[in-house]
Structures are given as C-alpha cells and as structure tokens.
Amino acid sequence: MLRITDVRTGEAVLAAPVRRGLTRVQAHASGYGAGSLRVLLVTDVLVRALELGGTPVFAMLAGEREQAELRAGAAALGIRPFEDGQELGAGVGEAQVLHVVGEGGPAPDGVRIAVAPVHGTVPADPAVLRLALLSRPRTEPVHLDPATLSEAHDILVRWRRAVADWARRPSRPVPDEVRGRLRTAWEDDLDVPEVLRVLRWAEDAGPELPDGARFETYAYADRLLGLELTRDLGAPA
C-alpha cells in the first residue's frame, strides 16, 4: 500500500488508510510558474498511484490566482483535469484528504505532501519538462539548466523509439519481479526516480528480459509516469 511522508510530522502515513475508500487529493497552487506546475504534477502522479492501487480518487485545485493559466499548463503537461476546489475538510464519504503544497505555500489541516521549488526557465516541450521534474525526488529542488533539459530530451526520444521497436516483437508479460520493483518504488513515498531507474535497468537488461516484456514493462510504468512512451507505436522504423 502507498505510504507517503506527512510534512507536518516527518512520518510516513498510509495515503489511503481505508481500503478502496474515497480519497481527495488537493493541489495548492496560486500563480503560474514552474514551481506551481511541479505541485500539480506531483498531485497527478499521486492520483495515478492511488488509482493503480484500486483507490477511488478525485483531484481538486485550490488557489485564487491565474487559475486559467495553471489549468492550461497542467493540460499541456499531460496532467488530468482538476475539479474546482477550495479549503474544505473531509466531505461525506471521504476516507482521506491529502494536500500537496509547495515550499512556502499554505499549511492546511490534514496530511501535507511537500514539493520543493523549481529554478530555471520552462522549456517549450512539456514532455521534456515532465520528465525533468519527475527525475528528481519531489523534496529536492530542480534546476532546469540546459544540461538537465538536454538529458531529459535525449532519454525521452530514446525510450519512445525503443518502445516502438519492442512493440514489433512477440508480446510477453511484465515479469512478476519487475512489476514488484516498480510498485515497491512508487508505493514507498512516491519514489518516481526509482521507477525511472528500474526502466533504465530494463533497457539494458539484455536477453534475460525479452523485448516484448520490455515493451509491457514500459507501458505499465507509464500508467504512473504519463510520459506517452507508447506514442510512436506504428511509426516507420
């Protein structure tokens, strides 16, 4: 089960303490910028992780400034739409409310998930930004310098091409050990960088991991990552 660190206490808590209990994830972002987009992205990945574990979730956006710009930026990043939100306690039928907050942001009651700031210029390619932000632990600042963005771009291009190539091979299931490594990573305080390390291992695993299993591994992990790694399927080799 997904455990997440509550910034109020520094302790890990169950993100969904009631099995299959309705959970609200509330993003607190006011004002458009890379830091606010990172808050929305962490919220999106948290929602995806909960849903992969069978927890019903709805995500809400709290804040007063530049909401239209934030929603447009979120859509470009592949973040699923937010419901309109405001500072509320748990509603009828809710088992948990999780608040995702940026450094120096609001301090609502309830479980709070901290997101460190982002420095630098937002790149033109939203997918590159998404991967660059996901590559660092959410509690560490991200510096969007040319080297970081170039690395994210190159990895994204390479993985999409590889996935399209692997899709041409006979299908194979995700090995139980690999599936377990992925789930263990994201259920351990939403450790997305470790998920990416598992994918790098799968990329270089050699014949012990058939190409069809590589494809399914990347497609499975992308349900959490949202990087559209299968986007180039069917493209000319």
Question: Can you tell me the distance from the alpha carbon of 49 to that of 192, in angstroms, rounded to the nearest whole number?
Answer: 10
pLDDT digits (tens, 9 = 90+) for 194-232: 999 999 999 999 889 999 999 999 999 999 999 999 998
Answer yes or no: are the C-beta atoms of 61 and 29 closer than 8 Å: yes
Q: Is the pLDDT of residue 88 over 60?
A: no
Question: Rounded to whole angstroms, what are the CA distances from 32 to 125, 127, 237?
Answer: 17, 18, 39
Q: What angle do CA 136, 200, 125 make, to 5 degrees?
A: 55
Is the pLDDT score of 111 beyond 60?
A: yes
Is 216 exposed, middle or buried, given 0-12, 13-18 or 19+ CB atoms closer than 10 A? buried
Helices (H), the chain: 34-52, 67-76, 126-134, 146-166, 176-187, 192-203, 211-225
Closest listed residue to residue 35, CA positions, set 143, 127, 128, 135 = 143
Model pLDDT, residue 85: 52
Report the predicted TM-score, pTM, of the whole model to 2 decimal places.
Answer: 0.94
Separation CA 204–CA 93 (nearest Å) = 46
Decide if pLDDT at 170 tops 50: yes
Q: Closest Cα partner for 49 from 60, 41, 39, 37?
A: 41
**What is the pLDDT at residue 93?**
61
Confidence of residue 237 (pLDDT cuts 50, 70, 90): low
Asked if pLDDT for residue 24 goes beyond 70, the answer is yes
Q: Where are the alpha helices (DSSP H) in 103-145?
A: 126-134
Question: Which pLDDT belongs to residue 91?
Answer: 52
Burial class (CB in 10 A: 0-12, 13-18, 19+), 92: exposed
Least Cα distance to 232 among 219, 217, 213, 214 occurs for 219
Q: Is the pLDDT of residue 86 over 80?
A: no
